[in-house]
Each structure stands twice: as C-alpha cells, then as structure tokens.
Amino acid sequence: MSVATNAKESTNFDAENAENLEAIEQQFAVAAVEQLDTYWKLLESIPGSELTLTSQDEEIFTTFLACFPEFTKEKLIKFDENELKTKENKARWRDWAKNFENSVEDFNFGCLLRTDSTRPYEQDNTTFSFRLQFYAIEIARNKLGLNDWVNKNA
C-alpha cells in the first residue's frame, strides 16, 4: 500500500465508530504506565514546585485556570473523575486543547492522572486522561506546591 493511500485512509478515519483493537490498546496502556513512572520518578527527585513539564507551562497554566475556573486549589487536590467526563466538559476540554494541538507534542495521547494529589498512583486513584489535560492539572498542582510532598517522602 502506498503512502498516498495510507494518508487518504487516515483522513477518512472515523474515531467515533472505530473498532477497539486490543493490541493497540495494550500499547497505549504500556506507554501510559511508562509515562506515569517517569513522572513519579521526577516528582521524587525534584519538588514539583521546581519542575517544568513543557516549554509552555505558563501558557498552559494560565489558560487552564481561565477556561476552567472551577479548578480551585481544593479541586486540584482532589477531583471527581466523572466531572471530567461529562459530555459538556469533554467538549470544553477539546475546545481548550485546540489551542495547543500544533505546539504540544502528542497533546491528545492517553495518560494516567491521579484524582487525589495527596496520594500516589494507585488503581482507585487513577483515571485515564489525555496528555494536555494531564499537563494542565499537574502543572497547576506543581505550581501550587501540591506535589512537593512526593519529594519530601522519597
């Protein structure tokens, strides 16, 4: 199959009706776990308040807080994952993420995000998110010092 044919097929891809392929899902899961492991090791090595995740941390942080004012310090400490996944909030996150789709690599790649920043990654404290959502919440947590405990306890 030629590159042109592959490109044409990819532009016709319908994500809403796509079949879930177990092998692809497993690859995404492995990559997401590797990313969380790397992030956790960073938090253990460097206080979150001193950590920079992207070259666009400031822009991600300020636009996140402006677009999602409900994310107060208390909600950054602990949030209900179901609130992220309502139809309305999914649309809000997609609209906000469009601002970064050409500047943040793999902005929509799957990630694992802690729902309670006072606890480590655990099965009951982890939700699936996309990379830019992960960055927004974790950059805010870092800037507010909410992840500094990880380094202190390492």
In a domain, 28, yes or no: no
The confidence band for 24, taking pLDDT boundaries of 50, 70 and 90, is: low
- Taking residues 14-36, report their average pLDDT: 68
pLDDT tens by residue, 55-92:
999 999 999 999 999 999 999 999 999 988 999 999 99
Say if CB 45 and CB 154 are below 8 A apart.
Answer: yes
What's the burial of 135, exposed, middle or buried (CB within 10 Å: 0-12/13-18/19+)? buried
What's the burial of 59, exposed, middle or buried (CB within 10 Å: 0-12/13-18/19+)? middle
In a domain, 22, yes or no: no
What pLDDT, on a 0 to 100 scale, did the predictor assign at position 69? 96
What pLDDT, on a 0 to 100 scale, did the predictor assign at position 23? 64
pTM of the model: 0.82
pLDDT tens by residue, 93-119:
999 999 998 899 888 888 999 999 999
| CATH number for position 78 | 1.10.3560.10
In a domain, 20, yes or no: no
Torsion of CA 73, 147, 66, 124, to 10 degrees: -80
**Domain containing 75: what range?**
34-153
Number of domains in the chain: 1
- Which backbone phi and psi does 21 adopt, to 5 degrees? -105, 120
